[in-house]
Amino acid sequence: MADFPKLVTARWDVEGAHTIDTYLAHGGYESLRKALAMSPGDVIEEVKASGLRGRGGAGFPTGVKWSFIPRDTGKPIYLACNADEGEPGTFKDRELMERDPHQLVEGIAITAYAVGSHQAFIYMRGEFLESARRVERAIAEAYDRGFLGRGIAGSGFDLDVVMHHGAGSYECGEETALLESLEGKRGQPRLRPPFPAVAGLYGAPTVINNVETLCTVPHVMRLGAEEYARIGTEKSTGTKIFSVSGKVERPGNYEVPMGTPARVVIEVLAGGVRGGKGLKAWVPGGSSTPFLTADHLDTPLDFESIAEHGSLLGTGAIVVLDETDCVVDAALRWTQFYAHESCGKCTPCREGTWWMTKVLHRMENGGGRLADIDLMLDVGDNILFKSLCALGDGAVSPIDSSIKHFRDEYAQHVKQGGCPLKKDHALQAATPRTGAAASAIRISEVLP
């Protein structure tokens, strides 16, 4: 197995790494001390120079994001850690929090110091009960040892951290929906501008960073920007965790330098396709990133290379389909997911995802027409970039890209009156995924 230097997953094999004593014994909170000895502006410059880009999906430069925070508004500055991991196929943040929660706490402390925030929130996905338990204990230990609270690590800087549990909504991983939810509202996105850096939580300047991003910050401080930027590629620096799942022999999280060929991650680290079958399709960064095929396995896994080949690096969640799996079935299941999770605020996303499930369902179940293929592309075109957030854009990805690479398979569904792979709808949801309205109050409860 190829051996790569590890940063954020380096302590995963260390017994008791989640406790503060073990964390301290392995150099824990040294990066925080180093940062506190610098000026906040210098910390931001260091992270900028490292080239670190957000690991939550969008890949925005982290230091640049921090530098947008105005310091003279008279309002408090907030930091929100996005721990609402929900992109299908993604499971890196959960494991980071379960195995090494102090790394996250240290990253939060450094980030809060850099941007001048004395109040941080961790928006923890509701279903992540074990992550929450580990992080909550880490927070308590950090308070106890003076790494949180008044005058952290012997400095003059105060920081409080509050953990907030989500309640089951993919949309709340979107940064403005996350803030709405943290304000006690429905998790629906806001119109931008203004961006959260200017008007975020309670209208105050707010930085929102993903768990993996924050976990990387202590390593940037430890190594220094120059050393960190030597890892990876010129524009995608450092390491990245790839969560590999689906039809592979060894599903799991693998941290590799950015720019590592997909083949190394899928075939070497994850052991290749299960049972020696052929690889049919894969996504590089979760369900919201377009499908690629076996022809793309030599693509380096970095933001630029993946984009050049027509997909997106996203969260680094690689889902693998083998030659016996039906892409129409997979596209339908993910479309059911988007229809279910669409918050309902914007018409193109709410209606488009719902109608797409109808058309795909008809096709998978034998009632499809050839014209449906272009109809779906047309519906997709009416969703893409026409809503307040990227949920609808993500919904278009599996459909558009599967038609692009597997148009014949769609046509065969029409000609043969159903799935040519005879998959018996193996991937479809078993119960109706009826969307944001599903749990709403029935009209009969309101009207006589």
- Interface contacts to other proteins, rule CB under 8 A: 76, 85-91, 93-94, 98, 119, 125-130, 132-133, 136, 162-170, 181-187, 202, 243-247, 251-253, 287, 317, 319, 321, 325, 330, 333-334, 337, 340-341, 343, 425-431, 436, 439-441
Q: Say if residues 301 and 258 touch (Cβ distance below 8 Å).
A: yes
Nearer residue to other proteins within complex by CB, 61 or 126: 126
The distance from CA 24 to its chain's CA centroid, rounded to whole angstroms, is 28
Instruction: Output the smallest distance, CB 319 to other proteins, in A.
Output: 6
Q: Least Å distance between CB 264 and other proteins? A: 18
Residue 337 and residue 89 in contact, taking contact as beta carbons nearer than 8 Å: no
Give min distance, CB of 252 to other proteins, in A.
5
CB within 8 A of 417, min separation 6: which ones? 366, 367
Given the complex with other proteins, which of 72 and 439 has the nearer CB atom? 439
Q: Which is nearer to other proteins, 33 or 133 (CB)?
A: 133
Contacts of residue 392, Cβ cutoff 8 Å, sequence gap at least 6:
338, 342, 346, 348, 349, 352, 353, 383, 384, 386
Q: Output the smallest distance, CB 198 to other proteins, in A.
A: 18
Minimum separation from the CB atom of position 260 to other proteins (A): 19
> Which is closer to other proteins, CB of 47 or CB of 343?
343
Toward other proteins, which CB reaches closer, 200 or 300? 200
Q: Report how far Cα 269 is from the mean position of its chain's Cα atoms.
A: 21
When the beta carbons of 46 and 175 are compared against other proteins, the nearer one is 175
Q: Which residue has the tokens 């110091």?
A: 113
Indicate the residue among 162 and 307 with the shorter CB distance to other proteins.
Answer: 162
* 162 versus 371: smaller Cβ distance to other proteins: 162
User: Smallest distance from the beta carbon of 1 to other proteins, in angstroms?
Assistant: 16
Q: In terms of CB distance, is 165 or 222 closer to other proteins?
A: 165
Shortest Å distance, C-beta 386 to other proteins: 22
| Cβ at position 139, least distance to other proteins in Å | 11
Query: In terms of DSSP bridges, do strands 300-301 and 317-322 run parallel, antiparallel, or are they unpaired?
Result: unpaired
- Could you tell me the smallest distance in angstroms from the CB atom of residue 374 to other proteins? 25
Q: In angstroms, give the least distance from the CB of 184 to other proteins.
A: 3
111 vs 287 by CB, closer to other proteins: 287
CB of 420 to other proteins, least distance (A): 18
Look up tokens 């240290």; give the residue.
Answer: 106
Of 230, 403, 420, 393, nearest to 325 by C-alpha is 420
Shortest distance, position 183 Cβ to other proteins, whole Å: 6
Query: Of 228 and 242, which has the nearer Cβ to other proteins?
Result: 242
Whether 206 contacts 77, CB under 8 Å: yes
Nearer to other proteins, 321 or 419 (CB): 321
Is residue 218 reached through a cis peptide bond, with omega within 30 degrees of 0 on the bond before it? no
